[in-house]
Amino acid sequence: MSNQILFYIMGISGGLFVLIVIAYFIMRKMINKSDFKRIKQLREGTKEKKFTSDILYQKLYIYFIRIPFLNRYVIKLRRKLEIINVDDEYLTRKQTAKIILNAMLIIMPLTLFIIILTHNDPLLLAILLLFEVFLIETIMAGMVDKLDTKLLKQQVGFFAEIRHAYHEFNMVEEAIYDVSQRDQLEVSRQGEKIYEILTSDDPEMELEKYYDVAPNSYLKEFAGISYLTREFGDRTDSNGASLYLKNLNNITQEMQLEILKRDKLDYVFQSLSVIAIVPVLCMEPLKNWAVSNFSFTSSFYNGKLGFIAQLLLVIVTFICYLLTRKLKDNTSRNNDYKDPNNCWQMKLYKNKVARKIIDLFIPKKGTKQYKKDVNLLKDAASKQKMEAFYVNRIVICISIFFVSLFIFNQVHNVAIDYIYENPTSEYNILGSMTAKEEEEAMLLTDQDNYFLDKFKNKKVTLEEIRVEVKYSEYYQDATDEEIDEAAKRIEEKLKIINKEYLSWFEWLLACVFAVGGYCAPKWLLIFQKIMRRLEIENEVMQFQTIILMLMKIERVSVEMILEWLERYSNIFREPITRCVNDYEAGAWEALEELKNDINNEQMIRIVEGLQSAVEKIPIHEAFDELDNEREYYQEKRKESNERLIKRKGMIGKAIGFTPLVGLFVGYLIVPLVVIGLLSMTNAFGTMSTMM
């Protein structure tokens, strides 16, 4: 029977082989026909001759978007890069895959290094791996910022070429189109987009849409000035120079100042993030070095105090790293294009049960606290809604409460494990135990553990322990002095073990930490607000440049200037928006209210100039000092940027080096000195009693 089955299988296989051969010859004959041959030639003409990096990135993008955890970063990156690349799907996919691949090439070796260092400490390993999630965000944000700065640098050359093209065509849209067709740079796509806006049926509406998605404010200014020049025509100043080209030169100068500022800030902050992270990675090697060279420190590093010191250092490192990142990111444009209504916080808030709980914490509209929170969100330039803000506060509060209890419990477990696992011996100030000494010490520890397991969580006296030790198999031939010494040692260990449980004080401390976690998002917004205040002078000078560009264009009104200031404002957005909304009810009164809402002297002078232009004099006369003192304001802007960079650099260095100082002082020097002095004191005390 088995032979017949074998013959059947061989016959079927032979028949299939014959059919495949026949099909091959038929297909070959068809391919040689003219139609198939022509199609093949056309396909070969469009194929790449070799495997290029572009093809690799396109394939990697497809793989990355399918990976569950990684697709979150892919979508987030796409959202940012689509703004720069203007509907270029091929380039967006390529840059997304390239950034994620570079981030993985950094993160994966770092992850392997962390696992090798901390494989014996699961909790520290978990904390460091969680910390890498924030590190990935920083790496990708830094790479996107580089693309943004690259676009800004391209704009300088792009605008220079437009100047020459404008002399040739004397038409704004034709000059932009001609320059945009010369190369395939990122800025050329922006130029093509602006050309489409200017030649559309409703350029004003299309321009408003572009303002919402423009990569930076300078392209907004360029698009706006180009539109106004096309609508109202170009003018010449007293020297016969084109007003459009002069405004283009003003925008270029602004961009050059911004590029210099970014380059200097990148130089100042380029190593601070690394310096803030290094202490966490160096904890385990430093601990191993200290224990191997000074064995008396093992009681600290392997015990409860060492665990607490490690935890505090990780928390300080995380806070400093976060503040350093906020300090650096605050200098550049806001890259967060995430829809505030489509975040996980708002999805959680839409749940009926969760909403009832969250609404208990959100202050009622119209109350003083509600107004304070709204103003804080605006001052910190946060796009999150009030509901999302309080969801963050509540979630962080609850998480920190339970994490604190878990950590407190883990601290007790570390103390108990140290008693059970640490070799029982006297302190040895220098060097470490020999193999024989360590074996004897571990044998003594195992003997003590037998009695600890027997008496744990029980109330026993020293005499009861002594009796149990005396009649045990371990001390049958021991002297009374050795039995007394063992009983005292076991009693001390037992006291430590029986005290290691969650106490009311730790529950109270967990509540305090939870309250701190509830306040943390608010403190972070306050820090962000303070950092933004450092740039207030820079924003006022940008307003002066905008007014300088608009004031000589015909049909430009005070209301239009206010709309432009609102569009490019950051710190003064709220009062300017209120002024624009109230303008039609009374121009002078609205500007007076704006003047009362601000306290910056230079901004007040701008508002007073606008008030003069409302009723008394033309706009170009109200701000004629801006044109006359242009060079002075440029120099002042440079000096202001220098002060800003210096101030942020000092704050960044103070924050960035804090974990490093904590590592060497709090985690190495203090334990060595304190425990070393205690060990020497005990040694001298023992020697004096022996004498």
d(CA 492, CA 419): 10
The predicted structure's pLDDT at residue 325: 77
d(CA 449, CA 445): 6
Distances in whole angstroms, Cα of residue 197 to Cα of each of 183, 193, 356, 568: 20, 6, 46, 20
**Average pLDDT of the chain, as a whole number:** 79
User: What amino acid occupies position 280?
Assistant: V
* Whether residue 427 has pLDDT greater than 50: no
Mean pLDDT comparison of 143-157, 229-243, 531-545, 664-678, highest-scoring range: 143-157
Asked whether 173 and 196 are in contact (CB, 8 A), the reply is no
d(CA 658, CA 669): 15
Higher pLDDT, 682 or 678: 678
d(CA 155, CA 377): 32
Mean pLDDT of all residues in 15-30 = 59
242 pairs with which residues across the strands?
236
How far from the centroid of its chain's Cα atoms is residue 256's Cα? 26
Mean pLDDT comparison of 231-245, 465-479, 557-571, highest-scoring range: 557-571
Dump pLDDT digits (tens) for 527-537: 888 777 767 77
The predicted structure's pLDDT at residue 402: 92
Burial of 311 (0-12, 13-18, 19+ CB in 10 A): middle
Least confident among 20-34, 35-49, 203-217, 604-618: 35-49
d(CA 174, CA 195): 8
d(CA 185, CA 215): 14
122-169 helix and 272-293 helix, angle to the nearest 10 degrees: 160
* Whether residue 13 has pLDDT greater than 80: no
The predicted structure's pLDDT at residue 7: 52
Higher pLDDT, 254 or 343: 254
* Whether residue 328 has pLDDT greater than 80: no
* Whether residue 63 has pLDDT greater than 80: yes
DSSP letters for 43-110? HHHHS-SS--HHHHHHHHHHHHHHSTTHHHHHHHHHHHHHHHHTS-HHHHHHHHHHHHHHHHHHHHHH
Mean pLDDT of all residues in 318-324 = 82
The predicted structure's pLDDT at residue 312: 86
d(CA 338, CA 467): 71
Dump pLDDT digits (tens) for 82-91: 877 777 788 8
Q: What is the 3-state secondary structure (H, E, C) of 174-220?
A: HHHHHHHCCCCCHHHHHHHHHHHHHCCCCHHHHHHHHHHHCCCHHHH
d(CA 334, CA 552): 31
The predicted structure's pLDDT at residue 449: 80
The predicted structure's pLDDT at residue 401: 92
Dump pLDDT digits (tens) for 376-387: 887 776 778 888
The predicted structure's pLDDT at residue 313: 87
Residue 512's pLDDT band, with cuts at 50, 70 and 90, is: very high
294 pairs with which residues across the strands?
431
User: What amino acid occupies position 479?
Assistant: T
Dump pLDDT digits (tens) for 267-312: 888 777 777 777 877 887 888 888 878 777 777 887 788 888 888 8
Residue 335's pLDDT band, with cuts at 50, 70 and 90, is: very low
For 154, the token pair is: 């391209």
Dump pLDDT digits (tens) for 65-85: 888 878 888 888 888 888 777
d(CA 283, CA 292): 14
Neighbours of 305 (CB within 10 A): 16
Least confident among 159-168, 339-348, 607-616: 339-348
Dump pLDDT digits (tens) for 555-585: 788 888 888 888 888 778 888 888 888 888 8
The predicted structure's pLDDT at residue 333: 45
For 170, the token pair is: 């004397």
Mean pLDDT of all residues in 369-378 = 83
Burial letters 574-601, b for 16+ CB under 10 A, else e: ebbbebbeebeeebeebbeebbeebeee
d(CA 50, CA 52): 6
The predicted structure's pLDDT at residue 22: 67
d(CA 603, CA 575): 12
Neighbours of 277 (CB within 10 A): 24
Percent of the chain with pLDDT over 70: 85
Residue 341's pLDDT band, with cuts at 50, 70 and 90, is: low
Residue 430's pLDDT band, with cuts at 50, 70 and 90, is: very low
- Residue 21: what are its φ and ψ, rounded to 5°? -65, -45
Dump pLDDT digits (tens) for 178-229: 888 887 778 888 888 899 999 988 888 888 888 888 888 888 888 888 888 8
d(CA 239, CA 256): 25
* Whether residue 417 has pLDDT greater than 50: yes
* Whether residue 617 has pLDDT greater than 60: yes
* Whether residue 6 has pLDDT greater than 80: no
User: What amino acid occupies position 394?
Assistant: I
Mean pLDDT of all residues in 317-322 = 83
Q: Show me where the domains of the chain are located.
A: 338-531
d(CA 606, CA 110): 52
Asked whether 301 and 287 are in contact (CB, 8 A), the reply is yes
Dump pLDDT digits (tens) for 650-675: 888 888 888 888 888 888 888 888 77
570 pairs with which residues across the strands?
none
The predicted structure's pLDDT at residue 107: 81
Mean pLDDT of all residues in 542-555 = 82
The predicted structure's pLDDT at residue 515: 92
